[in-house]
Amino acid sequence: MPDRPFKPVIQETRTLVLLAFISIAAYSIAYFSRKEFVSTTYEIKIKAATMMQESMNMLKNIRMEKGVFIDQENDPNETGLVGSQFSLITTDEGDLDAKLTTLDPNFAAAMVELLNRADLVRKDSIAVMLTGSMPGANMAMLIACKAMGIYPIIISSIGASQWGANDPEMTWLDMERILFNNGYISARSIAASIGGRNDQGRLLSPRGRELIRNNIDKSRSHLISGKGLEDNIDQRMQYFGNNNYKAVVNIGGGVASLGTSFNLRLLQPGIVYRKDIENISRGDGIDGAVVRFSKQNIPLIHILNIQKLTDELGMEYAPIPLPEIGEGRLYAIEKYDLNMTILSLLIVSISVVITGWKSKQQIKEIMTNHDPESII
């Protein structure tokens, strides 16, 4: 019977089966080594999101009692807090998807995440600048502050872009008052402006500006109404005063907050530092309040460009229906155990190297001691 043709070990079926088994086993070890890492602020995030859900339901019921009907096409989650496309206090075009995203109770958890990233702790004071354009984000931030024990000093502009708090019968100041009176937030606006162009409602009708002034007066906030944009910014800074602020928050695109001295489109959402603003400054224009604060090396939490912000935080953008509270990367993330993953890789690598080395030795030996024609 003729000798069997030579096969190195790497070509043997049993070797290939063994390598396949080792690879599957190593992959399984790595895969099942995943661990869930719960956020260190998990409990606070759950508290904030739950408070926001309750407060949204309360505001919805109040609006329903006033005979406001839900626009199911533009408010698919039926929050009752999406404004209209046009009204007497509508200052500009708006992004409906951004408004819908901030009307997710989990957005309050997102604000907890940002406040925590900015190293803010209980009893810290922060300067907060709001507009009527994103009431959901306003609520989320102030509720997050309440949950974390952070004290906000608030100045608002009341005009709102499309789909925001642009109902003259339920402006942002009205919502803020209701939230404060029911214990969902710890502070109210100390001052407010009309908002819109030049922070003075330049594109609003006289009637629209009058409605906002009356609303500010009813809320007992101080009216910011200077000779122009720069004067309005000066007044804002005077009202904020020097309170040893640990951070400044801007929500929306209020011109008095942001000014005109840098390219707004280049300002990234989230945590922003002095150098970030200096890198996009134009060298002309008017410094807004956030720029003046940044020159004091006070970090900014910037809430705009909502889609980019939610991508960074691992949230859904304009979700339908609203996600459950406590779900997603904001609350917990899964990670592979690095040690087990490296071990699995080493096991597979060593197995392949040993098999290859042994095959090489076999080939070398057969080439030395046998007729080459017997080698396959």
The total number of structural domains in the chain stands at: 2
Same domain, 23 and 68: no
Q: Is the domain of 18 the same as that of 98?
A: no
Report how far apart the first and last C-alpha atoms of the chain are (Å, whole number): 18
Q: Are residues 84 and 155 in the same domain?
A: yes
pLDDT value, residue 34: 74
- Does 116 fall in a domain? yes
The reply to whether 148 falls in a domain is yes
35-38 and 332-335: which strand pairing? antiparallel
From the list 221, 197, 186, 13, the residue with the least C-alpha distance to 91 is 197
CB 204 within 8 A of CB 159: yes
Distance of CA 309 to the CA centre of its chain: 4
Domain contains 375? no
| Measured CA angle at 147 (ends 55, 320), to 5 deg | 45
User: Quick one: pLDDT at residue 131?
Assistant: 97
User: Torsion over CA of 252, 253, 259 and 260, rounded to 10 degrees?
Assistant: 150
Residues of the chain with pLDDT under 50: 1, 375-376
Residue 218 lies in a domain: yes
* Same-domain check for residues 130 and 233: yes
The answer on 243 and 176 residing in a single domain is yes
Q: Is residue 7 assigned to a domain?
A: no
- The three-class DSSP label of residue 277 is helix
Residue 252 lies in a domain: yes
Q: How many Cβ atoms sit within 10 Å of the Cβ of residue 227?
A: 9
Residue 278 and residue 173 share a domain = yes
For residue 301, give its domain range. Answer: 42-332
Q: Smallest Cα–Cα separation from 251: which of 164, 134, 89, 173?
A: 134
Residues 25 and 160 in one domain: no
pLDDT in tens, 324-360: 999 999 999 777 777 878 888 888 888 888 888 888 8
259 contacts: CB under 8 Å, gap ≥ 6: 233, 285, 286, 287, 288, 289, 290, 291
Residue-wise pLDDT for 227-253, tens only, equals: 999 999 999 999 999 889 999 999 999
d(CA 64, CA 3): 92
Rounded Cα gap, residues 183 and 143, in angstroms: 10
Mean pLDDT computed over every residue of the chain: 91
Output the pLDDT for position 1: 46
Between CA 250 and CA 257 the distance in angstroms is 7
Domain assignment present for residue 105? The answer is yes
d(CA 164, CA 90): 8
Nearest-angstrom CA–CA distance, 233 and 287: 8
Cβ atoms within 10 Å, residue 6: 15
Asked if residue 325 is part of any domain, the answer here is yes
Q: At 258, give phi and psi (nearest 5°).
A: -95, -30
Burial of 183 from C-beta contacts in 10 A (0-12 / 13-18 / 19+): exposed
Q: Are residues 347 and 220 in the same domain?
A: no
